[in-house]
């Protein structure tokens, strides 16, 4: 029997968070942190609402997961995020010592891989999970934003 809790399942949960961001006028990025097939942190971008450039989905999800666990390290945890993390978020993920990061769409302009950022050497990285869905949501957001201005 196939495990229903695979990367696609949890990326769909991250996409649901991204949809909430979209509906609230935020860049539609969503994230969930999972341990033992259980979501322990979920978030979406809140930079506009909080007027805070650090309020990225990943940062919010890291904080929620750390609060749930009662500690700053995210060993045995996986972050699912709809867009490749930026350099700031990659730094936070590095310090959290998260075990795995799974992202949807690559960010060819501001992603950590093109900006010279790194994840912890023990962190597994998987990209391209539901990439089309994540990319389409971002494209739709920016087209809508251009048409409003």
Residues catalogued as catalytic = 58
Known binding residue 56? Answer is yes
CA 6 to chain CA centroid, nearest Å = 16
Spatial distance between the Cα atoms of 138 and 120, rounded to a whole number of angstroms: 27
Question: Nearest-CA neighbor of 40 among 3, 81, 68?
Answer: 68
Known binding residue 77? Answer is no
- The neighbouring-strand residues paired with 33 are 41, 79
First-last CA distance in the chain:
50
111 phi-psi bin (left φ>0, alpha ψ -120 to 50, beta other) = beta
Six-digit token string for 141: 């957001």
Question: Nearest-CA neighbor of 45 among 68, 74, 24, 65?
Answer: 24
Known binding residue 89? Answer is yes
> Can you say which residues are annotated as belonging to the binding site for Zn(2+)?
56, 86, 89
> Can you say which residues are annotated as belonging to the binding site?
56, 86, 89
């Amino acid at each position: 029997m196939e495990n229903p809790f695979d990367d696609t399942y949890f990326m769909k949960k991250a996409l649901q968070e991204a949809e909430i961001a979209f509906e609230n006028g935020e860049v539609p990025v969503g994230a969930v942190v999972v341990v033992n097939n259980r979501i322990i942190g979920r978030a979406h971008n809140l930079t506009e609402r909080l007027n805070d450039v650090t309020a990225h989905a990943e940062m919010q999800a890291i904080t929620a997961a750390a609060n749930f666990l009662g500690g700053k390290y995210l060993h045995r945890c996986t972050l699912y995020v709809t867009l490749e993390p930026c350099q700031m978020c990659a730094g936070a993920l590095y310090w959290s010592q998260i075990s795995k990061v799974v992202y949807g769409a690559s960010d060819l302009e501001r992603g950590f891989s093109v900006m010279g950022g790194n994840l912890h050497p023990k962190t597994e990285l998987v990209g391209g999970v539901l990439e089309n869905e994540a990319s389409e949501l971002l494209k739709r957001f920016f087209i809508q934003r251009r048409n409003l201005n």
